[in-house]
Structure 1
Amino acid sequence: MLRGLSTFNLWAADLPAAVRWYAELLGARPYFTSEAVGRGPGYVEFRIGDYQHELGIIDRRFAPPGLAAERGGTIAYWHVDDLPAALDRLLARGAELLEPITERGPGFVTASVVDPFGNVLGVMYNRHYLDMLGRRDAQR
């Protein structure tokens, strides 16, 4: 049923600031921008990672009714090769530590932050992710 991550969306009340923050963090500019009628960009999208997943940032004014503006209860973890370095970079850019580096089991280590726009962002070293990449590369 669930075949893979298509788009992961974050919300920001100050979309231009969020775009700048993520562009600097990722070292890339958004590849897609959707203009809100007469109101500037309402949505931007970055392609990131080994599978070029879509990271979308949406102006909070377009959030579904009832969507909490506070921190969310779901954390999406993005694989990183060097978790301490990734966490240090996020914190240096103004993210707030939510959960410190925590070993979840052999080969599974996580941490999470809250970005300056109130979104929870997880980073993880995940041995299964690397195993999957190795199998994919071997099939090529």
Structure 2
Amino acid sequence: MSQFLGLRSIIYGVSNIQEAKAWYTTLLEIEPYFEADAYVGFNVGGFELGLDPNARNVTSRADGVVAYWGVADIAAQVERINGLGARQHGEIVDVGEGILMASFLDPFGNVFGLIENPHFKLTDTHSD
């Protein structure tokens, strides 16, 4: 049995935590569950998206790693996110078997990925 329990947090470096909090609150359509001067955390379907002004220096390598957030209708979300001022980083691509992916650069320079995957289901990794 794997000791890895699955993805828990994605941390984005941001230059202005208040602007980033406002932008991500609009994007995600939820309020953060945690707010401090040095960190803002959102619970997105059981996973954490964190905003950290102290992580800004590591985002120069953002193109090397992309976190993909699941969506039910990628075309609708691409249209909506483009309207929020993000810059499209990668067009919608069908990677096979109906799995669609796209990505954006948020206003703070982070790559924000979307995936519509009809085959992926969350599994319970806890054994009692």
Q: What TM-score comes out, normalization by structure 1 length?
A: 0.79
1:106 is aligned, of 97, 101, 105, to: 97
- Displaced runs of 4 or more, over 2 A: 66-72
Displacement of 1:70 after TM fit?
A: 5.8
Match of 1:125 among 95, 116, 121: 116
Question: Any idea what SS the aligned residue of 1:112 has?
Answer: strand
Query: Which residue number in structure 2 is paired with residue 79 of structure 1?
Result: 70
> Given the superposition, is the C-alpha separation of residues 68 and 125 from structure 1 closer, same or farther in structure 2, using an over 3 Å criterion?
closer
Q: 1:68 offset after TM fit, Å?
A: 4.3
CA contact (8 A) 2:40 2:51 kept: yes
User: Match for residue 13 of structure 1?
Assistant: 15
Q: Do the aligned partners of 1:70 and 1:118 also contact (CA within 8 Å) in 2? A: no
RMSD over aligned Cα atoms: 1.9
Q: Amino acid of the residue matched to residue 19 of structure 1?
A: K
Structure 1 unaligned regions, length at least 5? 35-40
Amino acid at match of 2:41: E
Q: TM-score, normalised by structure 2?
A: 0.86
Paired position in structure 2 for 1:48: 44
Q: After superposition, what is the alpha-carbon deviation per residue over 1:62-110, rounded to whole angstroms, capped at 9, x for unaligned? A: 238x624364311111111100001111110000011100000012110
Tell me by how many angstroms 1:112 deviates.
0.4
Q: In terms of Rg, which structure is larger? A: 1
**Contact kept? 2:104, 2:113, Cα under 8 Å:** yes
What are the equivalent positions in structure 2 for 1:14-29 lying under 5 Å apart? 14-29=16-31
CA distance in 1, matches of 2:50, 2:59: 18
Q: How many residues align?
A: 122
